[in-house]
């Protein structure tokens, strides 16, 4: 009786050789898994199949199944078509959520971003940095005064709480301040009167 001929690829023969070494006890399942780039669980399954059905189990286990690369290519094509047809305005993160929610496709944001960038369907958005332009200080002393009022227990309980009302000269940064009972028009005008009596008006004020 003629024996059946098994047509096997070199890869399948190498896998069979490794599995037989496991069966003979010269190789552990852990080392076999590393050599074949499989999990220990997959190696156990192959060992069991070879024990029960013989060498042909190795061939049958790898035939008729699409490669991982082919499957990835098919998923990528499907995902990109979905993006073009239904989600052209979505970013990678939101598109990722919709794929899982409505199409049962689970992918990482980074994978989607990479695919969309490769196809020119999405561009990285550069963050716009708004830089505040500092106002140039005035050139003349007294040309601009900034008013500030600060409520605080300045005398640490010795006296009632007071408000420190101050003028800050824009050109020099000099502070001119007095204590008042409250912040209001009258205290502010009082402070301005004292300031003018002490420093006068700048040329800018006189010309204006």
Q: Is 112 in contact with 132 (CB distance < 8 Å)?
A: no
User: Confidence class of residue 1 from pLDDT cuts 50, 70 and 90?
Assistant: very low
Alpha helices in the chain (DSSP H): 10-24, 29-36, 40-53, 56-62, 68-86, 92-103, 109-118, 185-199, 203-207
Residue 36 confidence (pLDDT): 84
Domain ranges of the chain: 10-62, 68-118, 145-207
pLDDT digit string, tens, across residues 88-143: 988 888 988 888 888 888 888 888 888 999 888 888 766 666 667 777 888 888 78
CA distances from 114 to 80, 118, 127 (A): 11, 6, 19
Query: What is the rounded distance in angstroms from the CA atom of residue 146 to the CA atom of residue 142?
Result: 10
Report the pLDDT value the prediction gives residue 21, as an integer from 0 to 100: 92
User: 73-87 pLDDT, tens per residue?
Assistant: 788 899 999 999 999
Q: What is the pLDDT of residue 28?
A: 93
Residue 92 corresponds to which tokens in the numbers above?
Answer: 């990678």
pLDDT over 70 (residue 2): no
Query: 168-200 burial string, b = 16+ CB within 10 Å, else e?
Result: ebbbeeeebeeebeebeeebeeebeeebeeeee
Mean pLDDT of the chain: 80
The reported pTM is 0.34
Task: Return the pLDDT at 203.
Answer: 59
Average pLDDT over residues 193-198: 89
| Lookup: tokens for 7 | 């047509």
Q: What's the rounded mean pLDDT across residues 131-157?
A: 79
Under a CB-based contact definition with an 8 Å cutoff, are residues 115 and 80 in contact? yes
Tell me the C-alpha distance between 9 and 15, whole Å.
10
The band of 208, judged by pLDDT with boundaries at 50, 70 and 90, is very low
CA distances from 124 to 90, 91, 118, 127, 149 (A): 13, 10, 12, 9, 47
Does the structure show a pLDDT above 70 at 205? no
**DSSP secondary structure, 127-143, as one string:** PPP-PPPPPPPPSSTTS
Three-state SS at 172? coil
């Amino acid at each position: 009786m003629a024996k059946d001929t098994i047509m096997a690829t070199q890869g399948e023969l190498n896998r069979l050789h490794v599995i037989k070494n496991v069966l003979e006890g010269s190789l552990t399942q852990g080392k076999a898994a590393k050599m074949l780039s499989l999990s220990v669980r997959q190696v156990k399954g192959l060992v069991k199949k070879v024990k029960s059905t013989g060498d042909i189990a190795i061939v049958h286990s790898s035939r008729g199944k699409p490669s991982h690369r082919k499957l990835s290519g098919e998923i990528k094509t499907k995902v990109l078509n979905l993006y073009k047809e239904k989600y052209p305005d979505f970013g990678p993160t939101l598109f990722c959520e919709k794929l899982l929610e409505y199409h049962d496709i689970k992918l990482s944001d980074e994978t989607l971003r990479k695919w969309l960038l490769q196809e020119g369907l999405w561009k990285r958005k550069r963050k716009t940095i708004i830089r505040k332009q500092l106002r140039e200080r005035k050139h003349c002393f007294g040309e601009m005064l900034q008013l500030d009022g600060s409520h605080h227990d300045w005398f640490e309980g010795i006296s009632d709480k007071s408000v420190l009302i101050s003028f800050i000269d824009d050109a020099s940064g000099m502070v001119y301040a007095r204590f008042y009972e409250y912040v209001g028009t009258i205290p502010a005008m009082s402070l301005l009167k004292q300031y003018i009596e002490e420093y006068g008006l700048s040329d800018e004020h006189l010309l204006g």
